[in-house]
Amino acid sequence: MINLKAFKLMDQDDPLKLFRNHFFHQKNEIYLDGNSLGKMPKNIPEILGETINNQWGKQLISSWNKDWLKLPNRLSGKYGKLLNASAEEIVFGESTTVRLYQVLISLIQSGNYLDNLITDNLNFPTDLYVIDGLKTQFPKLKINNIEYHNEIEADIDLLKESIKKKPGIICLSLVTYKSCYYYPMKVLNQYAVKHKSIIVWDISHGVGSVPIDFKESETKIAVGCTYKYMNGGPGSPSFLYIESGLHSLLENPIQGWFGHKNPFDFNPQYKSAEKLDHFKNGTPPILSMQAVESGIDLTLKAGILNIRDKSIKQSEMIIMAIKDHLNSFGYNLQSPKKFLRRGSHIAISHPNAWQICQALQKGGKNIPKIITDFRPPNFIRLGITPLYTRFEDLWWVINQLENIVESESYLRFNQVKPEVT
Ligand SMILES: Cc1ncc(COP(=O)(O)O)c(C=O)c1O
């Protein structure tokens, strides 16, 4: 049995340990959700309270000029720092799904790429649905959904071969939602350009968990959400990055008033705004946008390289425990073995995964509740968010995974799943 004391000592030596104090925690609960929704920074009630009570409640319409119109660009500047982009290359607003649809249509309509759209079986379902839905709108579009015959790793040779044979637009999740596979971003971007193609990266599971440098990796386009490792809250707005060289070549298929050069002239003729501002659509969702800033501030302060460092350390410890203890209890690693090809969660499988997730969540006498998440058919995702995940948390989950199977306590739980897992 591994030693709790040793894990607690690692917490004491953790250079990021104080960041945990900036988040709201429940007593006797360990949050290893992986990562559908990040924790709430402690100052959110105060920030939203000010927005609701003062800005909306009292200042009303004058808040647009005083505070709200500046907010989206301020966020773009801060995300630009994290991702090495200029503020003019990032716009906030909409869900990732809408942004993906918008930018894919823009690329298809630009006429700069052949009518091929490549994706793969590791991509997140919403990306696959959006791509599939484009078939009716663009009947000439040939969609190639590469099947790697496994759910863990992409076959990069096969992916490259597909790009070479059918160049055009490619859509991939930088870090995959199920296994946490992390694509070699720069190699693929360069390969795509060599073959007159472009990759649209969905970085939802990557932003805040792995270092991303848009310039160094020669990334052209990316979309991503802010509610996972960036802790922006439920339904927080997504972002779209388009490299400045492409701004004048891509039109926004949604000609909304916030993308107009002078929206408050109320001119009946549309005249597109400059830089990436023309990818703004309608009124920004101020309430949810206000909650995004704390997460980015904490991430910038901690430093993404320190976050990555701790994430690798913690992930490797779970993997070692799977090999040394958990394999014999029916658990198997379903994430890439090499840390270079992994983001910041570990997926494990077990034939009774859903019942085990419920048993973890139930906790017990002197045992904390442990929140993980389940993904079909039988995956448990253990999310590592170095800003608040303690080494002690890992000790608990490893031991509980073992105890629950050994004692067969999971048999008390229902096999039927609720809507959100
Ligand atoms: C990789 C990825 N892309 C997109 C989404 C969905 O994004 P949204 O709900 O903002 O449309 C998710 C949600 O978990 C995701 O994991």
Q: How confident is the model at residue 34 (pLDDT cuts 50, 70, 90)?
A: confident
Section 123-151 average pLDDT: 97
What's residue 406's pLDDT? 96
**Average of per-residue pLDDT across 51-69:** 97
Is the distance from CB of 109 to CB of 251 less than 8 angstroms?
yes
pLDDT of residue 324: 94
Question: Token digits for 340?
Answer: 């270079």
Residues 183 and 174 sit within 8 Å (Cβ to Cβ): yes
Give CA–CA dist 182/329, Å, rounded: 28
**Shared-domain flag, residues 243 and 138:** yes
**What tens digit of pLDDT does each residue of 152-172 get?**
999 999 999 999 999 999 999
- Name which residue sits closest to atom 7 of ligand 1, judged by CA: 96
356 against 414, higher pLDDT: 356
The Å distance, Cα 371 to ligand 1 centre, comes to 20
**DSSP 8-state symbol, 58:** I
pLDDT at position 304 is: 98
Are both 21 and 129 inside the same structural domain? no
Q: How far, in Å, is the centroid of ligand 1 from the Cα of 204?
A: 6
CA of 226 from ligand 1 middle (Å) equals 10
Q: Check whether residue 209 and residue 82 sit in a common domain.
A: yes
In terms of C-beta density within 10 A (0-12 exposed, 13-18 middle, 19 or more buried), how is residue 412 classed?
Answer: exposed
Domain-located, residue 420: no
Mean pLDDT of 344-348: 98
Instruction: Give pLDDT, residue 3.
Output: 87
Distance CA 163, CA 154 (A): 14
Q: What percentage of the chain reaches a pLDDT higher than 90?
A: 96
- Integer distance in angstroms from the first to the last C-alpha of the chain? 30
Count how many residues are written for the chain: 421
Which tens digits make up the pLDDT trace of 272-326?
Answer: 999 999 999 999 999 999 999 999 999 999 999 999 999 999 999 999 999 999 9
Last-in-domain residue among 244, 274, 300: 300
In a domain, 359, yes or no: yes
The reported pLDDT for the residue numbered 419 is 76
Is residue 418 scored above 90 in pLDDT?
no
Predicted model pTM: 0.97
Q: What is the DSSP letter of 155?
A: -
Q: Which pLDDT score, from 0 to 100, does residue 1 have?
A: 55
Report the separation in Å between the CA atom of 35 and the middle of ligand 1, taken as the mean of its atom positions.
11
Domain harbouring 181, CATH code = 3.40.640.10
Query: 339: phi > 0 → left, psi -120 to 50 → alpha, else beta; which?
Result: alpha
Any ligand 1 atom below 6 A from CB of 399: no
296 and 327 together in one domain: no
Average pLDDT of the segment spanning 68-81: 97
249 and 331 assigned to the same domain: no
> CA–CA distance from 324 to each of 2, 9, 321, 331, 370 (Å)?
10, 21, 5, 11, 21
Please give the single-letter amino acid code of residue 181: Y
Count of domains in the chain?
Answer: 2
CATH classification of the domain holding 367: 3.90.1150.10
Q: Label residue 208 exposed, middle or buried (CB < 10 Å: 0-12, 13-18, 19+).
A: buried
Residues 61 and 158 in one domain: yes
253 and 195 fall within a common domain: yes
Does 400 map to a domain? Answer: yes
* Average pLDDT in the chain: 96
Which of 257, 279, 300 lies at the terminal end of a domain, its last residue?
300
Q: Is 177 in the pocket of ligand 1 (CB under 6 A)?
A: yes
pLDDT of residue 412: 94
The answer to whether 303 and 387 are in contact (CB under 8 A) is: no
H or E element in which residue 202 lies? strand 198-202
Establish whether residue 97 lines the binding site of ligand 1, counting it when its CB lies within 6 angstroms of any ligand atom: yes
Distance 132 CA to ligand 1 centre (A): 16
Place 130 in a pLDDT band, splitting at 50, 70 and 90: very high
pLDDT band at 414 (very low <50, low <70, confident <90, very high): confident
pLDDT at res. 223: 98
Which H/E stretch holds residue 200? strand 198-202
pLDDT of residue 397: 97
Q: What percent of the chain has a predicted confidence (pLDDT) above 70?
A: 99
352 shares a domain with 293:
no
Choose one of 262, 281, 300: the last residue of a domain: 300
Residue 381: pLDDT over 70 = yes
181, 142 contact by CB (below 8 A): no
Residue 31 predicted with pLDDT over 90: yes
Q: What is the pLDDT of residues 252-274, one digit of tens each?
A: 999 999 999 999 999 999 999 99
Question: Where in the sequence is the domain holding 38, given as residue range(s)?
Answer: 4-42+303-412
For residue 421, pLDDT beyond 80: no
Which among 242, 273, 200, 234 has a CA at the least distance from the CA of 76?
242
Does 56 lie in the same domain as 26?
Answer: no
Band of pLDDT at residue 143, cut at 50, 70 and 90 = very high
